[in-house]
Structure 1
Amino acid sequence: MERMQYDRALVTAMVERWRPETHCFHLPFGEFTITLRNVQVLFGLRIDGDVVYIQDATRRIHPWRTLLEILT
């Protein structure tokens, strides 16, 4: 995955609006949360293929960087 550019002011604004007690962002027009589907769309991740169980994978593959390279 290539390195993403981000808007520091936008990230700061979103952090200020995050409410950990409800796991939502509180905005003037209502609440919203980010789902795994949102993450998949934003990052263009594949959702097909075998299920990966991190607990099993980490026993066999080290270090973490190698694991992430294998999964992408």
Structure 2
Amino acid sequence: MNFKVRAYGRTELAQMYCPNLQPESAFRKLCRWISLEPELSRRLLKNGKMPPVRSFTPAEVKLIVERLGEP
């Protein structure tokens, strides 16, 4: 799969990381992974975003992928 950095809905991105989970469970898991990465959490907060959010901007997706890897 070729992952493309673009804006993603929160559950859309979460389900890419956790395709076998229900949407809300996948989102909770993604939030947990983000919370375990202090630098990622700090940078997302600096941009004014932190879960729960409705969507991630391309810049936020790039930050997430840099820390967690491609889904």
What's the TM-score, normalizing by structure 2?
A: 0.21
Larger Rg: 1
Q: Which one has a larger percent helix, Structure 1 or Structure 2?
A: 2
What's the TM-score, normalizing by structure 1?
A: 0.21
Greater relative contact order (Cα 8 A, min sep 6): structure 1 or 2? 2
